Amino acid sequence: MNHYMKICLIRPPKLMIKNASSVVSFPPLGMAIIAAVLKNEGHKVQVIDAAITENNQQVPFDSNNINTKLPSNASLVTTGLSCDEVVDLIDADTDIIGFSCMFSIDWVSDRTLINFIGEKMPGKLLIAAGESASGMPDIFLKQCPGLTACVIGEGEETILEFIAALKENKSLQTVNGLMFRGTDGFIKTPKRERLRQLDQLPIPAWEEFPVTRYPRPIKNSDGTNGITLPLIATRGCPYRCTFCTSPDMWGTRYFMRSPESVVREMEYVKSMFGVINFEFFDLTAIIQKKWVIEFSNLLKEKKLNVVWRFPAGTRSEAIDEEVIEALSSSGCKEIMYAPESGSERVLELIKKKVIIPKLMESMQLAKKHDMRVYINMIIGLPGERHIDIFKTCLFLMRCAKLGVNDVGLAKFRPYPGSALFDDLHKKGIFDLNSDEYFIDSLFVVDSIVLNKFYNTEIRSSKLYMFYYFLYLSSFYSFQFIFQFKNFKRIMDYGTMYRYGLNLKKDIIGLFQGFLTFNDKSTARA
C-alpha cells in the first residue's frame, strides 16, 4: 500500500415509502468534516453523496432485500442513486470505502448498498460510521459480511488512526472507538476520548459536494431561497434525555469552538460558495449565554450579513431577552425549541429538564423580537398517560396563542444508542434480527399510521391515532383563531417539508388509517 490512501466516502440513498411525503436530504456535515480531515493529511478523497441527484431520482426498492412483510399495498423507494450507479462512480483505485450512516430508519437500504458494493468490489476495505452505525455496530457487522469495521462516535481521530494501523500493519485493537471482526466474534475497542480542541478541526470540504443541489430552507431578504450550508459550533450535550442517542454517541461533555473560529468558517464559506444562509446542526447550541452574545457581536462587527438558524432544536434555559436580542440582530431569524411534551410528569420520566414557564417566557421573547419559533414534540413516549396527552394539548394551544409558527410532531421511536432503546430491547419488545423494527420506524417519518406505539399506559393504537390528530388540531385550531396568516401559509406550503413531513399528506394518511385500521400495531410491553 502507498503511504497515502485513497478513500471514497459515501452517503447512501434515503429509504422512503413510495408516494409518501418527500423526504429531503440535508448536506452531510459529518462526512464533509471527515473528508477535510483526510485531505489535510494528504489522503486522496472521493465523495459520493448518493442521496442527492439533480432530478430527485427515486429508485424502486426491491422488497426481496427486506426480511419482513411490508404492510399491504405499501412499497418502498430510495431517493438518490441506484446501487449500480454508485458502484459505477467509485474510482477503481480506491483503498477504503467509508459509509456515513446517520438515520437507522435507512438501515435496510444502507445494508443493501453496503452488501452490493461488497460483492461487486471485492478486495476493497469497507467501513461504516455515523449515528446509526455507532448505535448498533454489531448489527452492521452481522448483516454486512463484507464490512471490516464500524467507527463508533466521533470519527476524525479514529479514521486517521485506523488508516495508520493498516499502513503500519498494527492490530485494529490499538485503535479506540472501533468495532471490528475478530477471529472469535466482534471486538469492541475502548471508547474514544472526545475532541476538545474543536478550533483545530478543518473547515468542512464542501468543495467536494454538490452544494447547489441541497434543499434551501432559508429565505434571503429578497424572498428567494439561497444555498444553505450547515455548520457546528459546539459538540456534545450535558443532558441525558432517555430517548436521545447523544449521551451514548457523544457522552455528556460539552465543548465549544471559539466564536472567532465559527465566524471565520462562515466568512470562508461565504467567500468560496457565496453562501449566506447557515444552519447550526449543534445538538443543543445555546447553553452559555456569554458565548452566544460574543458570537452575535462578532458577526455584526464583521458585517457578514448572513441569515442563520437552529433547525435541530435547542434548550431554552439560557435564552433570555439579551440573548434573543443578540440572536435576532445578528441574523438568526428562526429558533427551534424542543420541549417534546407539555406534561411535567413525562418530562421528568424522559429526563428532559425543561421548565415549561421558562420555556414559554423564552418563546414569548423570541416572538417579541420577530423571530419565527418552532417546537418539536413527541407523542407515544413510554409511560405517557391520557392525562399527559391532555396537558400537552393545552400546552400546544398556549403555544399557538403565543405565536409559535409551527410544530413538528414525531411519534416516539426508540433509536439505537438511546437509554429507552436499550430498555425496550432488553424487554424483548423488538428483535433486530428481523427488519420489522426498521421498516416500522420508517413509517414514523412518512405516515402517521401503521406503526407501533411503545406505551403500556395507552395500549390502543387507534386511540393514539386519535390523540395524534388531537395534538395537531389543538395547535392548528388555535393558530387558525389567533394567527390566521401563519395558518394559511402552513396549509399552503407545508412548512414541515423542512423535516421531510407534510401536513396535508399526514391528515389524509390519518383518515385512510382509520378506514383501513387493524389494531395489531400496538407493542405490548
Our CB check for ligand SF4 shows the closer of 337 and 475 to be 337
Which of ligand SF4, ligand B12, none has residue 251 at its interface (CB below 5 to 8 Å by kind)?
none
Q: Is 277 in the site for ligand B12 (CB under 6 A)?
A: no
204 residue type, one letter: P
Helix, strand, or coil here: 116?
A: helix
In the complex, what is the shortest distance from the CB of residue 296 to ligand B12, in angstroms, rounded to a whole number?
Answer: 21
In the complex, what is the shortest distance from the CB of residue 241 to ligand B12, in angstroms, rounded to a whole number?
Answer: 8
Do 392 and 341 touch, CB atoms closer than 8 A? Answer: yes
Our CB check for ligand SF4 shows the closer of 417 and 509 to be 417
* Contacts with 263 (C-beta within 8 Å, 6 or more apart), sequence order: 295, 298, 299, 302, 304
Q: Is 454 in the site for ligand B12 (CB under 6 A)?
A: no
Do 231 and 262 touch, CB atoms closer than 8 A? Answer: yes
* H or E stretch at 54: none
210 residue type, one letter: P
Which of ligand B12, ligand SF4, none has residue 500 at its interface (CB below 5 to 8 Å by kind)?
ligand B12
How many residues make contact with ligand SF4 (CB under 6 A)? 10
Q: How far is CA 9 from the centre of its chain?
A: 19
In the complex, what is the shortest distance from the CB of residue 240 to ligand SF4, in angstroms, rounded to a whole number?
Answer: 6
Helix, strand, or coil here: 155?
A: coil
Q: Is 249 in the site for ligand SF4 (CB under 6 A)?
A: no
Q: Which of 21, 82, 94, 104 binds ligand B12 (CB under 6 A)?
A: 104
Our CB check for ligand B12 shows the closer of 261 and 297 to be 261
Q: Mark the segment that binds ligand B12 (CB under 6 A) among 19-27, 170-178, 381-389, 469-477.
A: 19-27
Q: Establish how many alpha carbons lie within 13 A of residue 66's alpha carbon, considering only the half-sphere containing its beta carbon.
A: 23
Q: Is 8 in the site for ligand SF4 (CB under 6 A)?
A: no
Neighbouring C-beta atoms of residue 220, cutoff 10 Å: 13
Our CB check for ligand B12 shows the closer of 253 and 401 to be 253
Helix, strand, or coil here: 7?
A: strand
Which of ligand B12, ligand SF4, none has residue 382 at its interface (CB below 5 to 8 Å by kind)?
none
Q: Is 500 in the site for ligand B12 (CB under 6 A)?
A: yes
Do 165 and 172 touch, CB atoms closer than 8 A? Answer: yes
Q: Is 316 in the site for ligand SF4 (CB under 6 A)?
A: no
Q: Mark the segment that binds ligand SF4 (CB under 6 A) among 233-241, 292-300, 433-441, 503-511.
A: 233-241
Q: Mark the segment that binds ligand B12 (CB under 6 A) among 57-65, 87-95, 152-160, 431-439.
A: 152-160
∠ CA 381-26-299, nearest 5°, is: 100
Q: Is 82 in the site for ligand SF4 (CB under 6 A)?
A: no
Q: Is 501 in the site for ligand SF4 (CB under 6 A)?
A: no
Q: Mark the segment that binds ligand B12 (CB under 6 A) among 62-70, 101-109, 346-354, 483-491.
A: 101-109
Name the strands in the sheet holding 332-340, side by side, starting at the edge strand that comes first in the sequence.
228-231, 277-280, 307-314, 332-340, 372-379, 406-411
Q: Is 237 in the site for ligand SF4 (CB under 6 A)?
A: yes
In three-state form (DSSP H/G/I as H, E/B as E, the rest C), the secondary structure along 257-310 is CCHHHHHHHHHHHHHHHCCCEEEECCCCCCCCHHHHHHHHHHHHHHCCCCEEEE
Positions 407 through 446 that interact with ligand B12 (CB under 6 A): 410, 415-416, 444-445
Which of ligand SF4, ligand B12, none has residue 181 at its interface (CB below 5 to 8 Å by kind)?
none
User: Which contacts qualify for 352-358: CB closer than 8 Å, 24 or more apart?
Assistant: 352/239, 352/241, 353/239, 354/315, 354/316, 355/316, 355/317, 356/395, 358/316, 358/317
Tell me the H-state helices in 333-385.
344-349, 356-368
Which of ligand B12, ligand SF4, none has residue 281 at its interface (CB below 5 to 8 Å by kind)?
ligand B12
The DSSP bridge pattern shows strands 372-379 and 332-340 to be parallel
Number of helices (H) and strands (E) in the chain: give both, helices first.
18, 18
Which of ligand B12, ligand SF4, none has residue 318 at its interface (CB below 5 to 8 Å by kind)?
none
Q: Is 241 in the site for ligand SF4 (CB under 6 A)?
A: yes
* H or E stretch at 424: helix 419-426
Q: Which of 163, 232, 377, 420 binds ligand B12 (CB under 6 A)?
A: 232
487 residue type, one letter: F
Q: Is 244 in the site for ligand SF4 (CB under 6 A)?
A: yes
Q: Contact residues for ligand B12 (CB under 6 A)?
A: 9, 23-26, 28-31, 33-34, 98, 100, 102-105, 129-132, 135, 151, 154-156, 159, 232, 244-246, 249, 281, 283, 311-312, 410, 415-416, 444-445, 499-500
Q: Which residues are at the interface with ligand SF4 (CB under 6 A)?
A: 237, 239-241, 244, 246, 283-284, 315, 352
